[in-house]
Structure formats: structure tokens, C-alpha cells
Amino acid sequence: MNNIEITKQKEYIEKVKEINKNKKLNYYILTMGCQLNENDSEKLCGMLEEMGYNKCEDMKQADLVLFNTCCVRENAEDKLFGKIGEVKKIKEDKGVILAIGGCMMQEEHIVEKLNKSYPFYDIIFGTHTLHKFPEDLYNAICENKKIEDVINIDGEIYEGLPIKREDNIKASVTIMYGCNNFCTYCIVPYVRGRERSRKPEDILNEIRNLAEKGYKEITLLGQNVNSYKGREDYGFDKLLEDVCKIDGIEIVRFVSPHPKDFTDDVIDVIAKNKKISRVLHLPLQSGSSNVLKAMNRKYTKEQYLELVKKIKTKIPDVVFSTDIIVGFPGEKEEDFEETLDVVKKVKFEQVFMFIYSRRVGTRADKMENQIPEEIKHKRFDKLKELVEKQTIENNEKYIGTIQKILVEGESKNNNKMLTGRTSTNKVVVFEGNKELINNVINIKIVENCLWYLKGKIS
């Protein structure tokens, strides 16, 4: 079934390629949201490039505009509708194919809004039909039809589609799709469906191929990576161990695990394998046990802190990053103080902070005790202040240390300098020859610059 479908899509790729022959066509892609969406976009880019389109950075130059959407928070919606408005003008001026895909298209009220207020789109597709993009595009071009290809049943896992990767040292590899957790604030389980894991062989072959091509850093992706189940007796611990065995891969990261599923087996594998990054992303969401219960996170503040302690004991050089939501319905001042307390105790290396955003269809959206906007913002600012203060203090501990760093390229702000990251994901900038790019070297940290560290080759 899987193979037949992919063969069919490859045939559509060839058909569109034939239509586009000698035409010099460009595409523009905008990706919103998480790393999973970025990885999906790499697949869309792979298909588009095989169909004869070249990537361009200016939407006005494009013959095809593609938006890969996210619906985790509301601000992505505003951004999308603004961008669609821009495409309308380009369509009027010169004609362009507009395709919109991804998570937001799985939401009925969004598709209704598109059909009512932005009916000039050509293709919309959801998270379960991404692999059918060549067929949808062919039908849109040849039959001049408007395509609405969104289904509500969990898509199969399709292997073997083309992929055009953004980077040639670091690569993301999706290991599982969907989520079964239904945290009450979160829309993801509704738009990405239930958990489906890729086969271990498919993942490991993909990573072996990447290693052969010279990739050194792999990030394993999933909504809840530690629920990965490749086979009955093959979970995330086994997968991590096997990925670490692949020659050529020097750094292994993964996002995101769920604290409730962080087993001792996984902790032991991390402890044993120096290739695995020493920054663990452990989404907290809230430090209050009451709020965590209302969020359906299935752990308490104490259990989270216990887990952090257990991991630290087994892996002393580990640090943590996290996600925190402020202003969840019913969050009292004392609940928020509990969140600040956990931030102070764990001293996270990095905190991704979010203001609670109501999502249609989730349980939290129906809760009556919503928090007023100004209180949410005040709490957010207070959390941010604490996090920034801790970041400055935290950076100090790096001064004078020697860090093993994969040299990723020239620094964005100063092309005379090189940049890379510590195993704990801190950006380090240093002087050096461009030939060092793509190598792992030792750097001595000499200066704390808040958002990055300065170093010297040692």
C-alpha cells in the first residue's frame, strides 16, 4: 500500500516535471511552527525541486507560494492571513499558485474561513496528505481545479519521498508522528492524530545515509519521542542506542520527551553515550501541581523535580531546557509562584516561554476561569526577567572551560568569526579558519555575551 502510493506520487512528480520543462519556475516557502513542521517542509521542498521548481527568497518572484502552517498558538493564524493577503496582490499582478498545508488546515473553522474570505487559494492539504502534494499540484495545474485535500484519519507513514535538507551538517529525522497525550491546552493531538512510530530500520538507514553524506549531528523528532515504539521490544532507549552506534554521527539530540515517560532505560543510555547532547529538553509547562492536573500532564511539581534530580545524579554534566506556559485557565498567583520556584531550582539553560493561547476544540478552551490578558502578560514579563537574570549567571560557569564544538559555519553577525554550539546548545563564537567548518574542535570559553559565549581555539 505504502509503496504503491509512493510509486504513484513519483509518477505525478514526473508528470509535473514534464509540464514545467524549460520553464525556469520558482517557489517560495514559509514554514511556521516547530521542528517537525520544518522537517515536513524539507520534504515538500524535495518534491518541488524534483518537479522543476527552484527555491527563491522573495515571494514576488515566485510561481508557486507554499505556506506550511502551525496552529499551536494564535499568533500563527494572524500571520498566515496577513501573508495570504500579500499573495492576493501577486495573483492579481502576475498569477501564482497558492498552496497552504499543515496543521492549521486540519481545523474546520480555518478551512471555512479560507473558503469564505480567501477563496483564491489553489490547494489546501492537511497533515495526513502531505505525501500527496505532487498529485494535488498536478490536478490543480492540469484540471484547473481548486483542491481541498484534508482528511481526518491518521495518515500512514510514507517512506522514500524526496527530501531537500536545509543544512549539510545537521539533520532532523522524524521518528514518530502524532500524540496521544491530550494535554488540555494543546491542539496537536487533534491535528496530527494518534501516535505512529516509524520502523527502526527506516530511521537507522536514513541516518546511515546522512552520515555517509557527511552529516555529523542528528536531531530525532516527535511530539513525544519517549513514547516511540518501533516494535513490541524496541522503544526509544534502543533507538537512541542504535543511533549512537552509527559511525560519523557525533552529536545526537532529541525533542521533545514527556517527563511522565522518561524511563530509567533512557536515562542509562544517555549516561553511557557521550554522543548524546548534555542539554535535555524537559517540558515543564507549569510548576504548580494543581495547574499540571488541569493541564492533564500526569505529573506533579514534586515528581518533576524528582526526575530532574534522578537524571542529574546519573548524568552529572547534564543541563535542562524547558517549555513553560503562563496564564493557563485558573492559574492563581501562588500557582505562578510555584512555576518561578521550579525555574529557580532547576536553573534551566534555556526556557521557551509562552502565553497561554485558547485553541478551539481543546478542553482548556471550554474552562470558565480564563485569565485576563494583562495578568498573563505581567506574569510572562516576570518570568522573562527571572530567566534572563539566570542566563547571565549561568553563562559565567562556562568561562575558562574547554568545550567540544561542531563548527557550523560563519557567524551570522560577523563573517570573520566562526560559530558552533556547546553540547548544552549554547552558541559559541570564535576566530578561526573556514576550513574548520564541519569539524569538531576544542574551544576555550573566554567571554559571556548573554545570548552567546566568546571562545578561543585551544
Positions that interact with ligand 5AD (CB under 6 A): 72-73, 185-186, 283, 285, 323, 325, 354, 356-357, 359
Q: Which is nearer to ligand 5AD, 184 or 277 (CB)?
A: 184
Q: Does the N-terminal peptide bond of residue 256 adopt cis geometry, omega within 30 degrees of 0?
A: yes
In the complex, what is the shortest distance from the CB of residue 267 to ligand 5AD, in angstroms, rounded to a whole number?
21
- The total of other beta-carbon atoms located within 10 Å of residue 368's CB is 6
Q: What, of ligand SF4, ligand 5AD, none, does residue 132 touch, CB below 5 to 8 Å by kind?
A: none
Considering the complex, state which of residue 197 and residue 419 has its C-beta at the smaller distance from ligand SF4: 197
Integer Cα distance of 86 and 101 in angstroms: 17
Residue 105 or 186 with smaller CB distance to ligand 5AD:
186
198 contact choice in ligand SF4, ligand 5AD, none (CB below 5 to 8 Å, kind-dependent):
none
Question: What is the residue type of 28?
Answer: Y
- Nearest-angstrom CA–CA distance, 453 and 447: 6
CB nearer to ligand 5AD: give 141 or 355.
355
Partner interacting with residue 354 (select from ligand SF4, ligand 5AD, none; CB below 5-8 Å by kind): ligand 5AD
- Select 324 or 371, whichever has its Cβ closest to ligand SF4: 324
Instruction: Please state, in angstroms and rounded to a whole number, the distance separating the CA atoms of residues 285 and 295.
Output: 9
Interaction partner, residue 182 (ligand SF4, ligand 5AD, none; CB < 5-8 Å by kind): ligand SF4
Report the partner that residue 325 touches, choosing among ligand SF4, ligand 5AD, none (CB closer than 5 to 8 A by kind): ligand 5AD
Query: Which residue, 31 or 181, is less far from ligand SF4 as judged by CB?
Result: 181
Cell readout for 159 is 517512506
Cα-only R_g, the chain: 23
| CA-closest candidate to residue 301, choices 243, 341, 263, 258 | 341
Cα–Cα distance, 188 to 239 (Å, whole number) = 24
Q: Between 70 and 249, name the residue whose CB sits nearer to ligand 5AD.
A: 70
Q: Could you tell me the smallest distance in angstroms from the CB atom of residue 372 to ligand SF4?
A: 24
The minimum distance between CB 356 and ligand 5AD, in angstroms, equals: 5
Q: Which of 255, 223, 331 lies closest to 287, judged by CA?
A: 331
Name the grid cell of 340.
Answer: 518561578
Tell me the CA distances in angstroms from 6 to 109, 135, 178, 181, one per residue in order: 31, 11, 21, 30
**Measured between alpha carbons, how far is residue 369 from residues 227, 331, 365, 372 in Å?**
32, 9, 10, 9
Closer to ligand 5AD by Cβ: residue 76 or 90: 76
**Least distance to ligand SF4 from the beta carbon of 192, Å?**
8
Q: How far is the CB of 130 from ligand SF4 (least distance, A)?
A: 18
The helix (H) or strand (E) run that includes residue 374 is helix 373-396
C-alpha grid cell for residue 22? Answer: 524549460
Q: In angstroms, what is the minimal distance from the CB of 96 to ligand 5AD?
A: 31
Least Å distance, CB 72 to ligand SF4, is 8
Q: Please tell me the number of Cα atoms within 13 Å of 319 on its side-chain side.
A: 18
Name the binder of 179 from ligand 5AD, ligand SF4, none, CB < 5-8 A by kind: ligand SF4
Contact residues: ligand SF4, CB under 6 A? 179, 181-183, 186, 188-189, 223-224, 258
- Give the shortest CB-248-to-ligand SF4 separation in angstroms: 31
Look at the block and give the residue holding cell 499582478.
93
